[in-house]
Amino acid sequence: MAGQSDTSAPILEVRDLKTYFHTRDGIVRAVDGVSFKVNAGETLAVVGESGCGKSVTSLSILRLIASPPGHNEGGQILFQGEDLLKASEARMREIRGNKISMIFQEPMTSLNPVLKIGKQISEVLVLHQNMNESQARTKAIELLSLVKIPEAQSRVDQYPHQLSGGMRQRVMIAMALACDPTVLIADEPTTALDVTIQAQILNLMRELRDRTGASIILITHDLGVVAEMAQRVVVMYAGRKVEEADVKELFASPLHPYTRGLMNSIPKLDEEKCARLEEIPGMVPSLREPILGCAFAPRCTHATGKCRTEAPDLEQKKSEHFAACWHSEKFLFGVRA
């Protein structure tokens, strides 16, 4: 990949990550050679629809993929210079929740329903920060206030079912930030929440990010959330990265037909109402068979013979803007898709 404009080394670098699942019906190439970097204090969004491999990528970083049937088939994940794929399980345990933490999509099932929330937050602190129970409890209350849960003193002894969805997500964020992680992975953190609650949570995340300086990898399918939160964006399709750019640049001039199709097919509140939404015909390809040529070719209106036989490499098309497409030049000069 071409050079960085940022002078410091990236905090996290994923190189050519491959995660395959060996199932009865064949090998599912969930992540098939994905690379990206995350710099200190930066928010990187990984965007794609279901099945594109974004969640599997984030789980692979923390080595949370169940080993049969999932296998890491290659690549490196460099965290502060150390390759996480080669680290021991004990080392990974030190890192999880401590240096790299994760927030999940479903706060109800990600929190243990039979433990009080204070206990769940304390658990992380006791484990990684060597605190005793009472120190951890005090810090837990502090954290609950940090994530703006009212009456933290009494809430700390409540169970997850006594809290609303938005509150539970705040608890998850508190747990994730407890040990002041360097990288926070947020996997669809607001998808299961109502839109007004989502606005609260995104607001909170922005505040906390500014305060702690953590890097965030934000996994989502919602382009609106991307526009509000991210500085750089990686677009994934069928287990591969198809485009990467700075957020303003991506929205102003998307260079991959999939990205363009995605942006054009969403009805937008702030635009003039159009009569018909642009459709992306067809469906996401099955990941069980190896894909010949460009993964998006069967659905792409610009596909040519070359696209169907040769998979395009990720190339730099503009400054800090990469796309994997043989025909990006069409879009460089503002041709409407």
Partner 1 sequence: MIQLRPLLEVKDLKKYYPIRKGLFGRVSGQVHAVDGVSFSIGQGETLGLVGESGCGKSTAGRTVLKLIDPTSGEISWRGKRIDGLSRVSMRPFRQEIQAVFQDPYSSLNPRMRAIDIVSEPLINFQKFSRSEGRDQVAYLFEKVGLRPDQMIRFPHEFSGGQRQRLGIARALSVKPRLIMCDEPVSALDVSVQAQVINLLIDLQKEFGLSYLFVAHDLAVVRHISHRVAVMYLGRIVEIAETPELFDSPKHPYTEALLSAVPIPDPALRRTQIVLQGDVPSPINRPAGCHFHTRCPYAQERCRKEEPGARELSPGHVVTCHFPVNAK
Partner 2 sequence: MSTNGLSLWWSGFEKQAGTLYRRHPSALIGSIVLILMCLIAILAPFLGTVDPQAVAPINRLQSPSAEFWFGTDMLGRDVYSRVVYGARVSLSVGISVAILSTVIGLAIGLITGFLRWADGIIMRIMDGLMSIPSILLAIALMALTKASIENVIIAITISEVPRIVRLVRSLVLSLREQPYVEAATASGTPLIKTLVKHILPNTVAPLLVQATYVCASAMITEAILSFIGAGTPPNIPSWGNIMAEARSMFQIASYLIVFPAIFLSLTVLAVNFLGDGMRDALDPRLSRRM
Binding residue count for partner 1, defined by CB under 8 A? 44
Judged by CB under 8 A, does residue 202 bind partner 1? yes
Pairing of strands 82-83, 70-79: antiparallel
Stretch that binds partner 1, among 62-70, 106-114, 226-234, 314-322 (CB under 8 A): 226-234
- Residue 24 binding result from partner 2, partner 1, none, given CB thresholds of 5 to 8 Å by partner type: partner 2
Q: What residue type is assigned to position 42 of the chain?
A: E
Judged by CB under 8 A, does residue 336 bind partner 2? no
Q: What is the DSSP string of 36-83?
A: EEE-TT-EEEEE--TTSSHHHHHHHHTT-S-TTTEEEEEEEEEETTEE
Binding residue count for partner 2, defined by CB under 8 A? 5
Spatial neighbors of 184 by CB under 8 A, at least 6 apart, are 100, 101, 102, 103, 176, 177, 214, 215, 216, 217
To which H or E segment does residue 167 belong? helix 165-177
Judged by CB under 8 A, does residue 288 bind partner 2? yes
Contact 17, 60 (CB under 8 A): yes
Q: How far is CA 106 from CA 175, 195, 326, 330, in A?
A: 15, 15, 38, 41
- Based on C-alpha coordinates, what's the Rg of the chain? 21
- Residue 25 binding result from partner 1, partner 2, none, given CB thresholds of 5 to 8 Å by partner type: partner 2
Q: What residue type is assigned to position 166 of the chain?
A: G
Contact 192, 109 (CB under 8 A): no
- Residue 286 binding result from partner 2, partner 1, none, given CB thresholds of 5 to 8 Å by partner type: partner 2
Judged by CB under 8 A, does residue 226 bind partner 1? yes
Which residue(s) pair with 180 in the sheet?
Answer: none
Judged by CB under 8 A, does residue 22 bind partner 2? no
CA distance 255 to 327: 9
User: Which CB, 164 or 309, lies closer to partner 1?
Assistant: 164
Judged by CB under 8 A, does residue 24 bind partner 2? yes
Contact 226, 233 (CB under 8 A): yes
- Residue 247 binding result from partner 1, partner 2, none, given CB thresholds of 5 to 8 Å by partner type: partner 1
Among 25, 270, 272, 313, binds partner 2 (CB under 8 A): 25
Residues 257-286 that bind partner 2 (CB under 8 A): 286
User: Which CB, 23 or 319, lies closer to partner 2?
Assistant: 23
- Residue 288 binding result from partner 1, partner 2, none, given CB thresholds of 5 to 8 Å by partner type: partner 2
User: Which CB, 18 or 148, lies closer to partner 1?
Assistant: 148
Shortest spacing between CB 28 and partner 2, in angstroms? 8
To which H or E segment does residue 30 belong? strand 26-38
Stretch that binds partner 1, among 35-43, 84-92, 127-135, 221-229 (CB under 8 A): 221-229
Stretch that binds partner 1, among 175-183, 192-200, 209-217, 329-337 (CB under 8 A): 192-200
List strands edge to edge, sheet with 183-187.
Answer: 100-103, 183-187, 215-220, 43-47, 232-237, 240-246, 321-323, 315-318
Question: Which residues contribute to the site for partner 2 (CB under 8 A)?
Answer: 24-25, 286-288
Residues at the site binding partner 1, with contacts judged by CB under 8 A: 49-50, 164, 166-167, 194-200, 202-203, 221-228, 247-248, 251-252, 261-263, 265-270, 273, 276-281, 283-284
